[in-house]
Chains A and B, each alone.
Chain A
């Protein structure tokens, strides 16, 4: 993974000192709340329902065991012993004391971590596919480009006070697991006929109040122009994005209102003025960044592991986990393991400090001391020898990390919701748990691949629009209700879910999900996944099952709300 040099270290040290000074001025009453607000947000610090929340950047999800141990230390000494993995591949603490945040940042700096631009109206953590670099079907490892973008976006002087937050994703794998199309900028790495690397550039995607799928504004951007082109897009957005209404301030609204062709022309004009200038990437820089992501010292292993084969035939529980959580690796004899942080009874994506230390040890033993955080709030060990999978699984069981539900109904994306978040309209963690408790292990396997995404408000941190099943917490006259949508997807064929009808109460949700699943099971063809069945049969059968002959007054009330 990327390692800091003196320049990176020095800038980070300067940042910690700057924020320490800002915090002390705030605490001394020399900075008003509104003046301190963007400063703390650009250091990841929110003021939450019960306490501040500190969101720490995990650049494009890459995390080392040393860093995770440091996070465990912070969890124990400055928080309540746990942390939460986020859908931007970051991690957040829910209980730090504001006055101690500069100390936490100093600890993080020791292990090349920070909370820079994890919040606020600026360029956020760039994300990518959690299988980057190890997937068998990859155009190019996205991580070097993510690092180049990380450096360009970090302390970018022009774009720290944008109309609204700005998120970039880069995808270099053929199967998109990064939700690239619902980002402010989505970059697909492509090769042209000559074999040169470039980017297909999408702009104006996003979730939140108005979900939009990004539009292509450049079919092939040669890689050396990456930064000048990003600068041009951001400058047009910074100048012209709406600032009169927070809910219309994202770039998606600007692209929609100006029309994609018009927007493209503006970017092009801006780009022509700066193209081929000093921002042009050098081959040296691309190679320098690539070198940080070269393959680790893989062994030459046989394609088939006898140890694995034996374990699979002797232990059905292990076989179930293997089938669900282990993916093919580009290197013979290795495998990609996803540790699903979604065990029933635990908040989705939450890790306690003991688990963090344990995962760090496991990464050291089994995966070259590194891991990735997936936007689906799971942990990936990218380089595990097939021979060692059984051992690893047995170890994971001792810390409640052996959930074999990757990609199944209870591997849900779920925001912290009303239990923690000041923005939330409704709780989401108890909803997740009530659904998890509803389905048995056998039922989940029978249902198969389906994504269930839960957000506690329309800011959509839980990506509910792009879940095959989406749940959105809404406030109805002071009561928590849940709106259900179907048909969303965040993959190469990204689609936005459609709302089934009037919202449900918390108690109704498990039954609602059960009814949705029943329609699917009744209608599916052999081997047909939930989304495909939905796309084939449409919304009506689900609607009928959910509202059917139920009292019409309710539907009417829902339609009016």
Chain B
């Protein structure tokens, strides 16, 4: 089964190429040449090193963060990034939930925020509430079931990205 992308509440085709951390480095220029014209998602360190070169390419550029990397590193770049992806090295590593909220609520990021890595249907509802609007599901995940998981709950108590007013301000 190939990887499925859910974006903005529906199953979607993925036009982005995710470049792993070890595919870039000393030979960045060569690697990038292979993806000439593609829309690519590069690791944070790559972005920080050759930002201008990336932006000069014909394709679009997004950045992905490892779970221990802070989105503050992108504070100056948000308006130039149509996509930021946050990696879940394991679904039990919850750091990216905080990064997502940080990006959306504190930093005001409005582009695509994509969950990548160990992305499973049982975590999608919380991810969406923290501000992810795109989910690159792990290969074995059933896309329709995952879509359904986005509506596991009809309401929630807390303030969240998808619904900034907490329930106590809405309770009838």
Asked whether B122 lies within 8 Å of A238 as measured between CB atoms, the reply is no
* CB-nearest residue of chain B to A158: B97
Binds B, one of A201-209, A272-280, A320-328, A342-350: A272-280
Residues of B140-172 contacting chain A, CB below 8 A: 152-160, 164-169, 171
Name the one of B92, B102, B153 contacting A11, with C-beta atoms under 8 angstroms.
B153
Enumerate chain A residues within 8 angstroms of B41, measured Cβ to Cβ. Answer: none
Enumerate chain B residues within 8 angstroms of A11, measured Cβ to Cβ. Answer: 153-157
Determine the distance from Cα of A273 to Cα of B99 in the docked complex, in whole angstroms.
14
Enumerate chain B residues within 8 angstroms of A154, measured Cβ to Cβ. Answer: 157
Question: What size tier do the contact residues of chain A reach?
Answer: 35 or more
Enumerate chain B residues within 8 angstroms of A121, measured Cβ to Cβ. Answer: 92, 94
Asked whether B153 lies within 8 Å of A14 as measured between CB atoms, the reply is yes
Decide yes or no whether A190 CB sits under 8 A from chain B: no
Decide yes or no whether B101 CB sits under 8 A from chain A: yes
Decide yes or no whether B2 CB sits under 8 A from chain A: no
| B72 shortest CB reach to chain A, Å | 10
Chain B count of residues within 8 A CB distance of the other chain: 37
Interface membership of chain B positions 99-118, coded 1 if the CB is closer than 8 angstroms to chain A and 0 otherwise: 10110011000000000000
Given A22-B122, A238-B98: A5 touches B171 (CB 8 Å cut-off): yes
Decide yes or no whether A76 CB sits under 8 A from chain B: no
Enumerate chain A residues within 8 angstroms of B153, measured Cβ to Cβ. Answer: 11, 14-15, 18, 155
Enumerate chain A residues within 8 angstroms of B130, measured Cβ to Cβ. Answer: 157-158
| B82 shortest CB reach to chain A, Å | 24
Asked whether B159 lies within 8 Å of A239 as measured between CB atoms, the reply is no
Name the one of A14, A22, A157 contacting B129, with C-beta atoms under 8 angstroms.
A157
Asked whether B167 lies within 8 Å of A35 as measured between CB atoms, the reply is no
Determine the distance from Cα of A415 to Cα of B98 in the docked complex, in whole angstroms.
34
Asked whether A155 lies within 8 Å of B156 as measured between CB atoms, the reply is yes
Determine the distance from Cα of A105 to Cα of B74 in the docked complex, in whole angstroms.
44
Asked whether A279 lies within 8 Å of B166 as measured between CB atoms, the reply is yes
Enumerate chain A residues within 8 angstroms of B168, measured Cβ to Cβ. Answer: 148, 151, 281-282, 285, 288
Interface membership of chain B positions 63-89, coded 1 if the CB is closer than 8 angstroms to chain A and 0 otherwise: 000000010000000000000000000
Decide yes or no whether A413 CB sits under 8 A from chain B: no
* CB-nearest residue of chain B to A235: B98
Name the one of B120, B155, B159 contacting A277, with C-beta atoms under 8 angstroms.
B159
Residues of A244-279 contacting chain B, CB below 8 A: 273-274, 277-279
Determine the distance from Cα of A155 to Cα of B154 in the docked complex, in whole angstroms.
12
Q: Could you show 6 A-B contacts with beta carbons less than 8 Å apart?
A: A7-B167, A11-B155, A155-B153, A157-B156, A161-B91, A278-B164
Could you tell me which A residues sit within 8 Å of B by CB distance?
Answer: 5, 7, 10-11, 14-15, 18, 22, 31, 35, 38-39, 121, 148, 151-152, 154-162, 227, 235, 238-239, 243, 273-274, 277-279, 281-282, 285, 288
